[in-house]
Chain A
Amino acid sequence: MTDKQSMHIDPYEKNWIRLSIGLLVVFATAVTVAGFAFGFQVPTPEDRVDPRTVATEGPWADPGLRELVPGKKYEAYILAQTWAFLPNEITVPVGAEVTFYVTSKDVQHGFKLQDTNINMQIVPGQVSKLTVTFDEPGVHNFICTEYCGAAHAIMFGTLTVE
Chain B
Amino acid sequence: MLANYEVSQAEKKFIGWHLLFAVIAVAIGSLFGPLQALEHAGLDLYPYLQPLFASYYQGLTLHGVLNALVFTTFFITGFLTLTTIYGLKRPLRYPKLNAVGFWMMVVGLVVTAIPTLLDQASVLYTFYPPMKAHWSFYLGLTLVVVGSWIEGWGFYFTYYAWRKENPGVRTPLTTFGGLITMVMWQFATLGVATEILTMLLPWSLGLIEGTDPQLARTYFWFTGHPLVYFWLLPAYVSWYGMLPKQAGGKLFSDSLARFAFWLFLLLSVPLGFHHQYVDPGVPAGWKFLHAVLTYSVFLPSMLTAFTVIASLEYAGRKRGGKGLLGWIRALPWADPVVSAQLLAGILFFFGGIGGITNASYNVNLVVHNTAWVPGHFHLTVASAVTLSFMGISYWLVPYLTGKKLGVSNKVANIQVWTWFVGMVIFSNAMHVVGLLGAPRRTPLGLAPYIPEEWSGHLLRVGIGGTIMFVGMYMYVYIVAKTAWAKNYEPVEIEVPLADSIHDPQETPDWLDKWVPWLIGTVALLLIAYGPQLFDQISNIALNAPGGKVW
Contact = CB atoms under 8 A, between A and B. Distances in A.
Q: Do A and B bind each other?
A: yes
Interface of A: 1, 4-10, 12-13, 16-17, 20-21, 24, 27-28, 31-32, 34-35, 40-46, 48, 50-52, 82, 106-108, 110, 112, 114-115, 117-129, 141, 143-150, 152-154, 156
A107 B57 CA distance: 15
Contact of A52 (B217, B284, B362, B543): B543
Contacts of B448: 154, 156
Given A119-B365, A156-B448, A129 B55 contact: no
Contacts of B541: 48, 50, 125
B1 interface: no
B337 to A, nearest CB: 26
B42 interface: no
6 contacts: A10-B310, A20-B298, A107-B130, A146-B441, A150-B57, A156-B448
| Binding site secondary structure of chain A | loop
Given A121-B278, A141-B449, 18 more contacts: A5-B506, A13-B310, A20-B299, A27-B360, A43-B279, A107-B546, A108-B131, A115-B437, A125-B214, A125-B544, A145-B439, A145-B442, A146-B128, A146-B369, A150-B55, A152-B441, A153-B444, A154-B446
A51 B256 contact: no
Q: Which 3 A-B pairs have the closest CB atoms?
A: A149-B549, A145-B369, A126-B280
A6 to B, nearest CB: 6
A147 B63 CA distance: 15
The residue in B362, B511, B543 that gathers the most chain A C-beta atoms within 10 A of its C-beta is B362
Interface stretch (B186-194, B287-295, B413-421): B287-295
Contacts of A42: 277-278, 284, 287, 361-362, 364-365
Contacts of B174: none
A138 B541 CA distance: 40
B213 A123 contact: yes
Interface of B: 55, 57, 60, 124, 128, 130-131, 210, 212-214, 217, 252-253, 255-256, 259, 276-285, 287-288, 291-292, 295-296, 298-299, 302-303, 306-307, 310, 356, 360-366, 368-370, 437, 439-444, 446-449, 502, 505-509, 511, 539, 541, 543-547, 549-550
A117 B298 contact: no
Given A24-B298, A124-B130, A145-B440, A5 B509 contact: yes
B405 to A, nearest CB: 36
Nearest to B283: A44
Contacts of B546: 106-107, 124
B253 A153 contact: no
Contacts of B57: 147, 150, 152
A10 B114 CA distance: 54
A43 B280 contact: yes
Nearest to B535: A45
B30 to A, nearest CB: 20
B362 A126 contact: no
Contact of A17 (B292, B299, B441, B511): B299
A156 B303 CA distance: 44
Contacts of A45: 280-283
B360 A31 contact: yes
Contacts of B364: 42
Given A31-B291, A123-B213, A51 B279 contact: no
Contacts of A152: 57, 441-442
Given A5-B507, A52-B545, A141-B449, A126 B310 contact: no
Contacts of A120: 278, 280
B468 to A, nearest CB: 22
Contact of B544 (A117, A124, A129): A124
The residue in B55, B283, B302, B310 that gathers the most chain A C-beta atoms within 10 A of its C-beta is B302
Contacts of B550: 149-150
